[in-house]
Structure formats: structure tokens, C-alpha cells
Amino acid sequence: MPEHVVPKPRRRGRPRGGETGTRERILTSAVEEFGEQGYDGATIRGIAARAGVDSALVHHYFGTKADLFAEAIGAPMRPDVDVPALLAGPRDELGEHIVRYVLEMWERPEVRKRGVALFRHALGNRLTTPLVAGFLSRELIGKVAAELGTPDAELRASLVASQVAGLLIARHVLKLPALASASVDELVAWAAPNVQRYLTADSPGAS
């Protein structure tokens, strides 16, 4: 190389040429770290250390901790990404928008397949259940609660999550005949008012 040519520095955190298996090693380390520390306790730095890589490399492959967790558990949807946009709409239409969004997403075969597998694996599993609960608490319920900004916002957001999760389980996992055969429009008409009430109605006992 001529003396006057200065080599460009390699961007920090990117893999060297020819390196294989790094992404898979990070993903395996993430599964182990989340399993041992829980969603809130796990950190990108801890996952990187377990995988023997720089933290920047984890971000390079997976982005945020929520992105990495979603990849690790095979999450079919990203409520932490999609729900804030729904919450930005008119308050009196939130219930309909949320229920319709979720039901229409689950009409996609690839989403439904991964979602059913996740539900079946997570429900009652002493390791997976708290991980999924932690993710939903931080990335879904917490975001909805912050947007509502009321004293009982976390309870309201949790009720929304219970309504939507229960509907998905009954329709796609248990396959209750009436729910499984109903159209998305029918289910939105029935379920959306409940979700809307959880989000915006006066609290019980409020003067």
C-alpha cells in the first residue's frame, strides 16, 4: 500500500470478513440471558459478554433489546412498534383500531402460525411465561399506560391486553367454533366497545 494512502478504519461493532455464526451465537446467548435474568434484568451488554462480542455488534444485528427479544421468542407481532401509532389516532376510535389491527394481523398465515406456537409454549411454562409477561408489561402495557396518562392507566392497559389476548387464544388456540368462524368485522363490532371502555370510560366509582 502506498505510504500516502491511509486505510479506512473498520466500523466498530461490525463483523470481520469471513466470520460465521456470530448472529446465531448472539441469539443463543440472548435466549440464555433472558432465561436467567428475565426481560427487565437482561441487558445488551450482558448478552454481548456471554456471546464474546462487542455490544455494538449486538445492536448491529438486532437493534434494541426489544428487537432482540422479539427475535429470540419468535414474536409474530411487535406491539411496542405498532401500538404507539394506533394510540396517536382519535381517542374515541382507539378500541376499534386496536382490535381490528390485531385480528387482521392474525389473518396472515405466517403471523398466526408463529403466534399460536408462542401462546402454546408460553402459557404455563415457568421459564417462558414471565419473560413474555415482562416484555408485554414494559413494551406494550407501559407504553399504552404512558399515553393514557391517568392514575389507573396501567390497569386500563392491562385490561386491554387481557381482552385482546383472550380473544386471540379463544379464536386461534382453543378454536371455539363461533369465534373461529366469525369474521373480523363481527369480532371488531363485539369486542371493540369493551376495549374502548377500558381505555376512555370513567373509572368505576368515579364521581
Domain 79-200 falls under CATH 1.10.357.10: yes
Longest dimension (CA), the chain: 81
Which residue type sits at 76? P
Instruction: Tell me which DSSP letter residue 21 carries.
Output: S
- What are the boundaries of each domain within the chain? 22-73, 79-200
CATH topology match: 22-73 vs 79-200: no
| pLDDT tens column, 45-100 | 999 999 999 999 999 999 999 889 888 877 777 877 887 788 888 889 999 999 99
Instruction: Tell me which DSSP letter residue 77 carries.
Output: -
Domain 22-73 falls under CATH 1.10.10.60: yes
Contacts of 194 (CB under 8 A, 6+ apart): 95, 163
Do residues 60 and 14 make contact, with C-beta atoms less than 8 angstroms apart?
yes
b vs e for 171-184, b when ≥16 Cβ sit within 10 Å of the residue's Cβ? bbeeeeeebeebee
Output the pLDDT for position 182: 98
Please provide residue 105's backbone torsions phi and psi, each rounded to the nearest 5 degrees.
-65, -40
Do residues 91 and 82 make contact, with C-beta atoms less than 8 angstroms apart?
no
Query: Is the predicted pLDDT of residue 3 greater than 70, yes or no?
Result: no
| pLDDT tens column, 138-177 | 878 988 898 888 999 999 999 999 999 999 999 999 999 9
